[in-house]
Structure formats: C-alpha cells, structure tokens
C-alpha cells in the first residue's frame, strides 16, 4: 500500500477535525459545503416556496439536498454534474459534462422552456496544482454558467457562483455587474481560509445587458 504524502495526511487530519464536517455528519448532510450555501442564501432570503432552482456541479449533492429541504414539497430542484450522484428524493439529477452541448440541451429540455428563479454553481475543474492551467479551466466553467443564467434565468432572478481569485476574476465580476442590479463577493465561514475560492452573489437580473 502506498504511503500518504505529508500534505494528504495533513488534509485528512484537518478534514476529520473540521467542525463543519462533524456538523454535516451529525445532521445527515452530504457535504460540509451545505453550510456555505446556508450562510449565503439565508442572508438575502433567496429561497422562496415554489421556486425553480438549478444546481450546476451538484455532486455529492449537499446543496441540492439542503435546497430541497428548504423548499419542502414546492418548486423544483434540477441538479447536474459530470460525476455520478446518489439519488435524492425530490431532486431531478442529470449526469453529464456541462461543457458538452448535448448535455446542456438535455438540461434545457428538462426545464421545458420555463424560466429559472435561482441558478447555483459550485463547479470547479479537477486541479492540476498549476495556476496557469487551473485558472483558465475554472474561468471557462464560470463563463458557461453565466451563459446558462443569461439564457434561462428569469428577469430579477439570482445567480450564485463559486469563483477563484486570480487571472480573469475582475473581468468576470465586471460582466456580472452588467447583467445584475446587485453583485456581492462573499467568503462564507465554512470556506477554508487558505482557499482562493469566493462566492459571487448576483441579484436582480436585468432585462437587458448594460
């Protein structure tokens, strides 16, 4: 059996002692990431009964699980990921690569032409550890998510996306501000301090891009 590197041993130790990991296990949630969403959504009361919510990059399903619980029996939660995701009651899951047109077409077909109230994106590429490779991959996924919101989010709807600070970040936020009345950049408590991730919450989608 291969021995674990010091960095992976350190990550495992940190992971198992993480209070959000412990809380997720105790509350039967699929991931600690649910507490990022809970903080981000609760502050602005984004969720309302009957909403249609699309969760991009959903696996292992923590965000979809929490949204479904909050919406109760109302509304729709449509989740998509390149990774398989165990079924969640009341969540419609599409398995596929968001970068492929055929997968996007399946997602669009499942919506039946109805506008979406809230688009969530916690997508991230597989990390190589090389910023010059990882940042363009991350920005490409972010641009695809913004394009999806452009096409399917209703006027006045909201878009919440994970971004990584680096090349292209400022320009992306500028594009969000052209599309939405209010854009906030936030770092929830459950986001590890050393991580370059932040979340952009764009609210009040404009009828036309400025």
Number of domains present in the structure of the chain: 1
Q: pLDDT grade, residue 88 (50/70/90)? A: very high
For this structure, is 162 an active site residue? yes
Computed over every residue of the chain, the mean pLDDT equals 87
Rounded-to-integer distance, Cα 25 and Cα 32, Å: 9
**Residue 22 is assigned to a structural domain of this protein:** no
**Residue 100 is assigned to a structural domain of this protein:** yes
Q: From the candidates 36, 48, 162, 174, give the one annotated as an active-site residue.
A: 162
What CATH number is associated with residue 199? 3.40.50.150
- pLDDT higher than 50, residue 144: yes
Q: pLDDT grade, residue 2 (50/70/90)? A: very low
Q: Using an 8 Å Cβ cutoff, are 141 and 98 in contact?
A: yes
Ligand-binding site membership of 61 (annotated): yes
- pLDDT higher than 60, residue 86: yes
Ligand-binding site membership of 101 (annotated): no
Region of residue 164 (phi > 0: left; psi between -120 and 50: alpha; otherwise: beta): beta
- pLDDT higher than 70, residue 12: no
**Residue 20 is assigned to a structural domain of this protein:** no
**Residue 69 is assigned to a structural domain of this protein:** yes
Q: Residue 69: which residues within 8 A CB-CB, separation 6 or more?
A: none
**Residue 199 is assigned to a structural domain of this protein:** yes
Q: How, if at all, do strands 153-164 and 197-205 pair?
A: antiparallel
Ligand-binding site membership of 122 (annotated): yes
Rounded-to-integer distance, Cα 201 and Cα 140, Å: 18
**Residue 201 is assigned to a structural domain of this protein:** yes
Ligand-binding site membership of 97 (annotated): yes
* Exposure b/e, 9-47, CB count within 10 A at least 16 = b: eeeeeeeeeeebbeebeeeebbbbbbbbbbbbbeeeebb
**Residue 9 is assigned to a structural domain of this protein:** no
Domain that holds residue 95: 33-205
**Residue 24 is assigned to a structural domain of this protein:** no
User: Can you tell me which residue has the tokens 């130790």?
Assistant: 13
- pLDDT higher than 90, residue 29: no
């Amino acid at each position: 059996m291969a021995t674990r590197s010091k960095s992976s041993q350190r990550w495992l130790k940190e992971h198992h002692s993480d209070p959000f990991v412990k809380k997720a296990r105790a509350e039967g949630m699929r991931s600690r990431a649910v507490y990022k969403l809970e903080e981000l959504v609760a502050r602005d009361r984004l969720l309302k009964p009957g909403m249609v919510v699309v969760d991009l990059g959903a696996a292992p399903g923590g965000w979809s699980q929490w949204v479904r619980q909050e919406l109760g029996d109302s509304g729709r939660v449509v989740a998509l990921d390149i990774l398989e995701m165990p079924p969640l009651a009341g969540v419609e899951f599409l398995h596929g690569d968001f970068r492929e047109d055929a997968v996007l077409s399946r997602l669009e077909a499942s919506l039946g032409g109805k506008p979406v109230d809230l688009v969530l994106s916690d997508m991230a590429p597989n990390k190589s550890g090389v910023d010059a490779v990882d940042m363009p991959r991350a920005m490409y996924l972010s641009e695809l998510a913004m394009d999806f919101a452009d096409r399917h989010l209703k006027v006045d709807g909201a878009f919440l996306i994970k971004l990584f600070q680096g090349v292209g970040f400022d320009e992306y936020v500028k594009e969000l501000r052209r599309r939405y009345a209010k854009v906030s950049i936030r770092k929830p408590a459950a986001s590890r301090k050393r991580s370059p991730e932040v979340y952009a919450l764009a609210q009040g989608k404009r009828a036309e891009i400025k």
